[in-house]
Amino acid sequence: MLGMILERIGMALGTMVFISVVCFSGLELMPGDACTIHLGRGASDSALANCRDRIGLDRPATTRFAEWSVNLVRGDLGVSAQRGKPITQIVKWRLRNTLILATVAALIGIPLALFLGVVSGLSRDGPADVSISSIAIFGMTVPEFISGTLMILIFSVTLNWATGIVLASYRAPALELLRASILPAATLTFILAAHILRMVRASIIEILQSEFVLMARLKGVPRRQIIWRHVVPNALLPAISVIGLTIAWLLGGVVIVESVFNYPGLGRLAVDAVADQDLPLVQAIALLFGAIYILVNLCSDLLAMALNPRLRSLRG
Amino acid sequence: MSALTKTAAILREVLRQPSGLVGAVIFGGHVVVALLAPLIIPYDPAAQNVNAMMQAPSIVHWFGTDKLGRDVFSRTIMGGREAMLISTLSTVVAMVWGSALGISLAQIGGRTDALIMRCVDGLMSIPWILMVMLFVAVLGTGTASLIPILGFSYGLSVIYLARAAALDFVARDFILAAQARGQSRWTIVGRELFPNVRDSLAVQGAMQWSWIFLAVSSLSYLGMGVAPPTPDWGQMISDSRGIMQLAPWALIWPMVALSSLVIGMNLFVDAWAKTIGVDRAQRVPEA
């Protein structure tokens, strides 16, 4: 058991090392470097040399990689090419803001999805299921920026319930951001819940058809007891790893939702950094998102292992 | 039965399902409109008209005009073309390298397979949009760089799917027989494995297409995809965000067009996957 946990953690660390190597060498292999892109094609040789000297690009790649990764472990993400500030400083607040947004969405979205998924699965093809499923399929199919824009159109422009565009600064206190994040969080919640509830629904339906449920029914166990003692617990177990994957997958959606609502988070920073061609910053954000993905997946795997004894002995 | 009549039979089966038919009609309609677009449009989609900014839909401008006085109808009709072209070519790139590598890995197996799959796992842990943005930051945007970028990024998930589909067959008797006959590994991959996974790969290709289409639209929305003056739905939605209250039509029509295309595609793909029995994620087992 302990061995498997350690192995899983080791795997996560290995992946982390791998993606940092990829992020670093990926940029090395590309034509041009941070300085040529930052200064443009017409830059003079002396300006280029100056810039390379400033961010240390004139040394061999291996030296730079060693230094970069040591700094990374110490929490130093390097210096932004465009903003002239340490990336850690730039990223710190935005990471907090993105985590606020994602946490709110997950805290509301997951219980909601579990509940609606169970309701939908139990009333398969009934009116409740059809309406829940249609909305969920819409949420899963349509891109995030359309769901977000629709949210603004409905709740801000038409109903005037909440402000559509976030005006809070990136250093605003957490509470202010929490208030500002109603619509972006609602959009993320909607998409997250749509994905998870479809999974829960499928798994409820599968279990309802299993032999042990038939057996319980034949024994005359009351329906309520069958559902709460046999069906729901067994259906929710596989949902845990799906939730992990969905949250991780949702990170991509965060980038778009933040841009739609002008939310001062990591995703919008990434978009700005691409527009400014600030390579080191884009690289650092990609790495951070990768790290969050790996961490979320690790947690959900460990949680699934803790709750489901079958996973502890099965390998693979 | 030849491959062609088999495909025709599958298609008939798909169209027999209501969702497959509806999806095919919507998607087909979009393709026809996109192909005939230059013949349909009443105005140059890029032409600005300061005398007709943000006009409501009328006989002159069926879908109204946007903040620069451009005709929303013409832009909506033209707006899917570039993204569809990029998605189609990127899907081809992704499917070719992804399935070639995936099927080969299933056949090779052992350490090489395990090592490469670990690397693919690692690459997949960077969310697609950031991976694409990392490339866009370096290579720049535009059709020529988006196709290899998206083809590469989306090919990663094709590797998984192709490998999983091929693994179903590698241990079967006819593959062992081919090995016993002394056929080379590559002949087996091309002649024995590929024909067996072709149908499920075709469905995956259609799914990839709709995902890549969403990716292109999202990138255009963020200003990294289809660049003006070429009209694009994602770009139109992003452009008209600020005038949502004044001219909602400039926003709604591209949203309707984009949503109907992806929903139609998904309905069709779902029906297709069901017909050939490919297990699409989140599919409910048949009663």
- What's the average model confidence in pLDDT over B31-57? 85
Percentage of residues in chain A with pLDDT exceeding 70?
A: 89
A chain contacts of residue B128, beta-carbon cutoff 8 Å: 252
Q: Given CB atoms, is B138 within the 8 Å cutoff of chain A?
A: yes
Three-state secondary-structure class, residue B91: helix
- Quick check: helix, strand or coil at residue A162? coil
Q: Which DSSP symbol is given to B65?
A: B
> In chain B, helix, strand, coil percent, each to 5?
75, 0, 25
Query: In angstroms, what separates the C-alpha of A11 from chain B's closest C-alpha?
Result: 10
Taking an 8 Å cut-off on Cβ atoms, the answer to whether A141 and B259 are in contact is yes
Q: Cβ distance A252 to A243 under 8 Å?
A: no
Is B263–A283 a contact, with Cβ atoms under 8 angstroms apart? no
| B35-to-A182, B39, B77, B261 alpha-carbon distances in Å | 42, 9, 10, 14
CB A47 within 8 A of CB A39: yes
Are residues A165 and A219 in contact, defined by beta-carbon separation less than 8 angstroms? no
Q: Scanning every residue of chain B, which has its alpha carbon at the shortest distance from the alpha carbon of A247?
A: B127
Q: Is the pLDDT reported for residue B287 higher than 60? A: no
- pLDDT(B43) > 60: yes
Arithmetic mean of pLDDT over chain A? 82
Q: Is the pLDDT of residue B85 over 90?
A: yes
> What is the pLDDT of chain B when averaged over all its residues?
85
Determine the pLDDT at residue A244: 75
**Which of A37, A143, A198 lies at the smallest CB-CB distance from B217?**
A143
Query: Could you report the per-residue pLDDT of B197-255, keeping only the tens digit for each?
Result: 888 888 889 989 999 999 999 999 998 888 888 899 999 999 888 888 888 888 899 99
Q: How far apart are CA B75 and CA B253, in angstroms?
A: 10
Buried b (16+ CB within 10 A) or exposed e, B21-33: eebbebbeebeeb
**In this complex, which of A198, A252, A293 lies closest to B129 when CB atoms are compared?**
A252
Give the residue from B230, B281, B191, B267 showing the smallest Cα distance to B83.
B230
- Partner-chain contact B238 A145, CB within 8 Å: yes
ipTM of the complex: 0.83
- Number of A/B CB contacts below 8 angstroms equals 141
Residue located via tokens 């006009």: B55
**What is the pLDDT averaged over residues A247-254?**
76
Respond yes or no on whether the N-terminal peptide bond of residue A60 is cis (omega within 30° of 0).
no
pLDDT given for residue A257 in this prediction: 92
Write out the H or E segment, with its range, that includes residue A164. Answer: none
Tokens 């005038």 sit on residue:
B243
Q: Is the model's pLDDT at A162 over the cut of 90? A: no
pLDDT in tens, A1-37: 778 888 888 888 888 888 888 877 766 766 666 676 6
Q: What is d(CA B4, CA B53) in angstroms, rounded to the nearest whole number?
A: 52
Chain B partners within 8 Å of A37 (Cβ): 137-138
Query: What was the pLDDT predicted at B282?
Result: 37
CA-closest candidate to residue A295, choices A64, A98, A12, A36 = A12
pLDDT band at residue A232 under the 50/70/90 scheme: confident
- CA angle, residues B204, B210, B215, in degrees to nearest 5: 120
**SS3 assignment, position B287:** coil
pLDDT 10s digits, A195-230? 888 888 888 888 888 888 888 889 888 888 888 888
**B136 near A CB under 8 A:** yes
Give tens-digit pLDDT for B175-204. 888 888 888 888 888 888 888 888 888 888
pLDDT for position B125 = 80
pLDDT tens figures, B105-138: 988 888 999 999 888 888 888 888 888 888 888 7
Q: Where residue B285 falls among pLDDT bands split at 50, 70, 90?
A: very low
The closest of B285, B150, A173 to A181, measured between CA atoms, is A173
Region A63-67: mean pLDDT is: 79
Rg of chain A's alpha carbons, rounded to an integer? 24
Contacts of A19 in chain B (CB under 8 A): 122-123, 125-126
| Cβ–Cβ below 8 Å for A205 and B118 | no
Which chain B residues touch A255 with a CB distance below 8 Å?
127, 129-130, 133, 222
| Closest-CA residue of chain B to A200 | B282
Closest by CA position to B227, among listed B99, B141, B108, B112: B141
CA pair distance A74, A225, nearest whole angstrom: 53
Nearest by CB to residue A282, choosing from B137, B259, B262, is B137
- Contact between residue A280 and residue A80 where contact means Cβ atoms under 8 Å apart: yes
pLDDT tens across A109-160, in order? 889 999 999 899 888 888 888 899 889 988 888 888 999 999 888 888 888 7
| Inter-chain CB proximity A270 and B139 less than 8 Å | no
- Go through A31-49 and write b for each residue having 16 or more CB atoms within 10 A of its CB, e for each that does not: eebbbbbbeeeebeeeebe
Phi, psi dihedrals of residue B65, rounded to the nearest 5°:
-125, 160
DSSP string, A92-131: HHHHHHHHHHHHHHHHHHHHHHHHHHHHHHHTTTSHHHHH
pLDDT greater than 80 at residue A312: no
Half-sphere exposure of B149 (CA within 13 A, CB side): 27
CB contact under 8 A, B138 and A19: no
Contact check, Cβ <8 Å, B130/A255: yes
pTM given for the model: 0.87
**Which of B117, B120, B134, B239 has the most A C-beta neighbours within 10 Å, making it the best mutation to test the interface with A?**
B134
